[in-house]
Structure 1
Amino acid sequence: MTINIQYVHMPTSESLSTIITEKLEKLHHKYNWVIRAEVFLKLESDTAVKNQICEIELSAPGPRIFAKSKENNFEKAVANTIKELEHQLKRRKSSFVKH
């Protein structure tokens, strides 16, 4: 699986990239038909407590799968987004027709 991580309005972080890559690789082992992951990490400039956003779009057979989470730190946002993606992947897998 190809993973593309983009940092929007913020500096890059190697440790955060490593965490994201590890979690997405685990997801890929479970659902090996996922082709690519586009990850966008954004930092909003407002003073709200939850101003760190993680958006992930997965390319797989059928329509693309998208999830977004907004939290007070990126680790929580990434975890929540991947949890939502896993839920969507389970639903997608159950709709596959076995031949």
Structure 2
Amino acid sequence: MNINFEYHNVEASNRLEEYTKDKLEKLYHKFQMIVRADVFFKTENTSSDKTGMICNIRLSVPGPRLFAEASHEDFIGSINESVSDLEKQLTKKKGKMMTY
């Protein structure tokens, strides 16, 4: 699996990349159909202190791409929610693939 990182209004961070790679590799071991992951980190000015650090993850898999986005007060929370959403989508996709 190939992982690409992009940063918008955020400085590149090895710690964030390592944390995200660890989470995505665990996902890959569970679902080997993942070909590539594109991870986007960005910040936005929001009215709430609990949002603004956004993590988007797009997975290339057979068929349509899967996408998840989360906004929290820190990137770790955003990464965790995005990966959790993708795991649900992958489970659903794997179930559909097995029935055919």
Please tell me the TM-score bracket, short chain as reference: over 0.9
Match of 2:8 in 1: 8
Superposed CA RMSD in Å reads 1.3
Unaligned runs of 5+ in 2: none
Count of aligned pairs: 99
Q: Kindly provide the CA deviation profile for residues 39-80 of structure 1, in whole angstroms up to 9, marking residues without a partner as x.
A: 000011345311100000000001000000010000000000
Give the TM-score normalised by structure 1: 0.94
- Aligned equivalents of 1:53, 1:68: Cα separation in 2: 7
Unaligned runs of 5+ in 1: none
Match of 2:77 in 1: 76
Query: Which amino acid in 2 is paired with 1:62?
Result: G
- Aligned equivalents of 1:62, 1:28: Cα separation in 2: 17
Query: Which amino acid in 2 is paired with 1:71?
Result: H
- Aligned equivalents of 1:61, 1:95: Cα separation in 2: 12
Matches within 5 A, 1:49-88: 49=49, 50-88=51-89
Q: CA deviation at 1:97?
A: 3.6
Query: Which amino acid in 2 is paired with 1:68?
Result: E
Query: Percent identity between the aligned chains?
Result: 36
Q: CA deviation at 1:10?
A: 1.1
- Aligned equivalents of 2:45, 2:93: Cα separation in 1: 35
Runs of 4+ in 1 over 2 A off after TM superposition: 45-48
